[in-house]
Amino acid sequence: MKLPIVNSGNKKTGDMNMPSQFKEEFRPDLIKRAVHALWSKARQAYGTDPLAGLRHSSKVSKRRRKYRGCYGFGISRINRKILSRRGTRFNWVGAFSPQAVGGRRSHPPKVEKVLERRINKKENRKAIRSAMSATLLKEVVAGRGHKLPVEYPFVVSSAVESLSKTKDIEQLLLDLGFADELARSAQKKVRAGMGTMRGRKYQRKKGVLIVASVDCPLLKAAKNVPGVDAVEVKALNAELLAPGADAGRVTLWTEKAVQKVADEKLFM
């Protein structure tokens, strides 16, 4: 597969053969597994206090001839705590048992539960290769909702890796024909539900992903463009290429990044 190389002024400067990693079969099922594995590692362990609902003095005898027992009073034989007493009569309230008000939960969430989903190394690499190939399939990328220029897909010149200002990154994307995409990813909506109270009030659509060959000024400069992500090629994962486990993110590969994928046989 050959793709044109364009510079920051959107002028074609040559062609580039894409390495075999970009020819992987499109496998949305594998990509979804890889993304879910990443999500599961980010989950925080949670559970109840092991003594929750068990702190009551609630021993009640169930023997016949014990005056403090509940035998013979036509009540269920669950643990109860004594609230008051008059002679041999007691006022009880259910405690400790799962079905009692204020009692423990029968099967509470436990901190020791393993929440992480594992995925094989080769399977994960194949998922990344599949997500890489999906970034070059125009119909898949457009089907994800991205607003694309007519010439997409293409490779950008390595000179863009030296850009160090956010306004230069925005101008680059405008020159390459991503004005509609920038407007789309700049829109912000209020999330529905309880998430608004938990530090995630707003939602924004994912925009362009820029892949560079090394840790360069471009990575920092692109951070302030809404919806745009920039990453070093070695740090790619399934979630960056397929946010929300939905493959086909619009991606700009620099010439050196593609060359590095080929030379170092990344994700093989």
The helix/strand/coil state of 259 is helix
- Biggest alpha carbon–alpha carbon distance for the chain: 100
Res. 153: pLDDT tops 90? yes
**pLDDT: is 81 or 229 the higher one?**
229
Please provide the DSSP assignment of 75-127 as one string. Answer: -----EEEEEEETTEEEEEE-SSTTSTT---SS---TT---PPP--HHHHHHH
Beta strands at 209-212 and 202-204: parallel, antiparallel or unpaired: unpaired
The pLDDT value given to residue 178: 95
pLDDT band at 70 (very low <50, low <70, confident <90, very high): confident
- pLDDT digit string, tens, across residues 82-118: 889 898 888 888 888 898 888 889 999 999 999 999 9
The pLDDT value given to residue 68: 80
User: What integer is the mean pLDDT of 151-158?
Assistant: 94
CB 170 within 8 A of CB 228: no
Q: Does domain 2-43+118-263 have CATH number 3.40.50.2300?
A: no
Amino acid at 162: S
Beta strands at 229-232 and 89-94: parallel, antiparallel or unpaired: unpaired
The pLDDT value given to residue 155: 96
- The mean pLDDT of the chain is 92
The helix/strand/coil state of 31 is helix
Q: Where in the chain is the domain with CATH 3.40.1370.10?
A: 2-43+118-263
The pLDDT value given to residue 162: 93
Q: Which residues pair with 209 in a beta bridge?
A: 229, 251
Res. 71: pLDDT tops 90? no
Considering only CA atoms, which of 247, 3, 6, 20 is closest in space to residue 127?
247
pLDDT band at 222 (very low <50, low <70, confident <90, very high): very high
pLDDT band at 56 (very low <50, low <70, confident <90, very high): confident
The pLDDT value given to residue 235: 95
- pLDDT digit string, tens, across residues 9-31: 899 999 999 999 999 999 999 99
Rg of the chain on CA atoms, in Å? 30
pLDDT band at 72 (very low <50, low <70, confident <90, very high): confident
pLDDT band at 64 (very low <50, low <70, confident <90, very high): confident
Q: Please state which of the ranges 55-64, 150-159, 242-251 shows the lowest mean pLDDT.
A: 55-64
Res. 124: pLDDT tops 90? yes
Name residues whose C-beta falls within 8 Å of residue 221's C-beta, 6 or more positions apart in sequence. Answer: 163, 164, 165, 166, 168, 169, 230
